[in-house]
Amino acid sequence: MAITTVPGATRKPGRPTPPYAGPQRTSLGRKVRDNLTGHAFLIGAVLCFVVFSWYPMIRGIVMSFQRTRRGETTWVGWDNYSRIIADPSFWPAWQNTLYFTLLALVLGYAVPFFVAILLNEFRHAKGYLRILVYLPVMLPPASALFLFKFYAYDPSEAGLFNAILKALHLPTSQWMQSPEMTMPAMVVASTWMNMGGAVLIYLAALQNIPGELYEAAELDGAGIWRRIVNVTIPQTRLILALLAMLQIVATMQLFIEPLILANGAGTEDSATSVAYLIYQHGFFQNDLNGAAALGVIMLVVLAGFSAAYLRLSAKQD
Contact positions with other proteins (CB under 8 A) in 67-106 = none
Report the C-alpha gap between 33 and 28 in whole angstroms. Answer: 9
Choose the binding region for other proteins from 82-90, 103-111, 145-153, 176-184 (rule: CB under 8 A): 145-153
CB nearer to other proteins: give 24 or 208: 208
Closest CA to 82 of 277, 297, 303, 298: 297
Binders of other proteins in range 100-139 (CB under 8 A): 117-126, 128-136, 138-139
Choose the binding region for other proteins from 12-20, 75-83, 87-95, 104-112 (rule: CB under 8 A): 12-20
Binders of other proteins in range 206-225 (CB under 8 A): 206-209, 211-212, 214-215, 218, 224
- Sequence-distant (≥ 6) Cβ neighbours of residue 102 within 8 angstroms: none
Q: Is 306 in the site for other proteins (CB under 8 A)?
A: yes
Binders of other proteins in range 35-54 (CB under 8 A): 35-39, 41-42, 44-46, 48-49, 51-54
CB nearer to other proteins: give 22 or 180: 22
CB nearer to other proteins: give 103 or 206: 206
Kindly state the number of chain residues that form the binding site for other proteins, as judged by CB under 8 A.
124
Q: Is 228 in the site for other proteins (CB under 8 A)?
A: yes
Q: Is 34 in the site for other proteins (CB under 8 A)?
A: yes
Binders of other proteins in range 232-251 (CB under 8 A): 232, 235-239, 242, 249-250
Q: Reduce the DSSP state of residue 67 to 3 states and report it.
A: strand
CB nearer to other proteins: give 91 or 283: 283
Looking at the DSSP bridge assignments, the partners of residue 66 are 75
Report the C-alpha gap between 80 and 67 in whole angstroms. Answer: 8
Environment class of 223 (CB within 10 Å of its CB; exposed 0-12, middle 13-18, buried 19+): exposed
Report the C-alpha gap between 109 and 158 in whole angstroms. Answer: 31
Q: Tally Cβ neighbours within 10 Å of residue 76.
A: 16
Binders of other proteins in range 147-166 (CB under 8 A): 147, 150-152, 156-160, 163, 166
Report the C-alpha gap between 316 and 4 in whole angstroms. Answer: 48
In the complex, the smallest distance separating the C-beta of residue 103 from other proteins, rounded to whole angstroms, is 18
Report the C-alpha gap between 220 and 212 in whole angstroms. Answer: 12
CB nearer to other proteins: give 82 or 143: 143
Alpha helices in the chain (DSSP H): 28-49, 55-63, 79-86, 90-104, 110-121, 126-134, 141-147, 160-167, 179-206, 211-219, 224-227, 233-235, 237-251, 256-261, 274-283, 288-316
Which one of 185, 260, 261, 265 is in contact with other proteins (CB under 8 A)? 260
